[in-house]
Copies of this chain bind each other. A is one copy, B any other.
């Protein structure tokens, strides 16, 4: 395979013609494929079908006798807290198990901080400038919360072991308006990166100008391994406690990609002071979570081992899909010096970097040929990728054959955009 960047223009022009022909051939196939979001496939959802009827007609009591059909138990069922404390590696007293959406819990944490403040702070964050650090590429829904509430975002580069910590430390120490950082620390969305021990340690220890700085630790893929050699993520809450910053981190998780994406349970884990504060807000917002759904999850999964065994079945379904993506990228793009892509060990996404200035063009070309990808730029604050090169690939939902088709098309688009750019540059 030849490096496009150093090819002669006559060869490149021939290549451009070939690519256009292949692209048009795809267009004639009338594909219609949506790869915009990281949705589990029906086969993955089938793995949890037992949840639907596992309470039978009369199993509605928690171990302590609580009638899960009725109001109350704001912090979640004790046995659900115990189960998910194992997953997030905290004490049961350091976790609240809530409704079906961890995004909702993060949203609430931010909203409460804006309107009421957080422990260790000096009143509400709202009414003055608030800034969040945004390791990018990152998760668009995190950035959407900031954008909605006028929280300024500063993109920080992602490296192989997590965010550029020099940059994070510099920004956090420099400005009291910098109140937090969004992190997906394990099998990060979309890069697949797991934060290194050093990064975790530095996040825990770093000096922050704001006394009430918060790390939003969205541990969405804690047990979502693709291989048998799982990544290991250091325990940030422990590290923060040791560093004397116990209240710095708010950890979030959910079973959205363990059980049912729309009908799982979500949780927040944090220091007891943070949790007490969070529960005060919750007590005004709701009388309690859906405890029946929590009980279903406890009955179905039993313990951490049950969840881990279940996740191996997910991995068996996902692994060939991720492999198909990298195989096609390797075949189509390898050695051409026009793209880089991640080979994640877990999570839900691959991250594809095109030649600078080409991502939007690639996404548009793919859409024209019937394959919808996540919007270019979506993985950056304000939807703007400064280098216009990152594309998030979400291979979980389509069947294998569709993924192969879609990725071949994407690879053609990446090449076409690159060749056209190189030729235009002259």
By a beta-carbon cutoff of 8 Å, the part of chain A in contact with chain B is 37, 39-40, 42, 45, 48-50, 52-53, 55-60, 67-73, 99-101, 103-104, 107, 111, 114-116, 126-127, 141, 144-145, 148-149, 256, 260-263, 281, 284-293
Contact = CB atoms under 8 A, between A and B. Distances in A.
Nearest to A37: B71
A287 B144 CA distance: 12
B39 A144 contact: no
A53 B56 CA distance: 5
Nearest to A50: B57
Among A69, A99, A288: residue with most chain B CB under 10 A: A69
B68 A57 contact: no
A31 B39 CA distance: 53
A107 B56 CA distance: 34
Given A144-B284, A148-B284, A290 B68 contact: no
Contacts of A144: 284
| Of A70, A100, A149, most B-chain CB atoms within 10 Å | A70
How many identical subunits does the complex contain? 2
A263 B59 CA distance: 14
Given A104-B286, A149-B115, A45 B57 contact: no
Contacts of A45: 60, 67, 69-70
A71 B104 CA distance: 14
6 contacts: A45-B67, A69-B260, A73-B262, A100-B289, A104-B286, A261-B287
A103 B49 CA distance: 30
A262 B284 contact: no
Contact of A107 (B55, B67, B285): B285
Given A260-B69, A262-B68, A290 B293 contact: yes
Contacts of A50: 57
B70 A39 contact: yes
Contact of A285 (B49, B103, B284): B103
A293 B292 CA distance: 10
A103 B288 CA distance: 10
Contacts of A256: 71
Contacts of A39: 70-72
A19 to B, nearest CB: 34
Contacts of A127: 126-127
A391 B54 CA distance: 42
Contact of A287 (B48, B68, B101, B289): B101
A68 to B, nearest CB: 7
Tell which of A71, A115, A141 has the most Cβ of chain B within 10 Å: A71
Nearest to A145: B284
A262 B72 contact: yes
Contact of A52 (B60, B107, B287, B289): B60
B287 A263 contact: no
A40 B104 contact: no
A49 to B, nearest CB: 6
Contacts of A149: 115-116
A49 B58 contact: yes
B67 A57 contact: no
A52 B55 contact: yes
Contacts of A107: 284-286
Given A52-B60, A116-B148, A284-B144, A290 B71 contact: no
A126 B148 CA distance: 15
Contacts of A69: 45, 48, 260-263
Given A52-B58, A100-B286, A116-B148, 14 more contacts: A37-B71, A52-B56, A52-B57, A69-B262, A70-B260, A70-B261, A103-B285, A103-B286, A103-B287, A107-B284, A148-B284, A262-B292, A263-B290, A263-B291
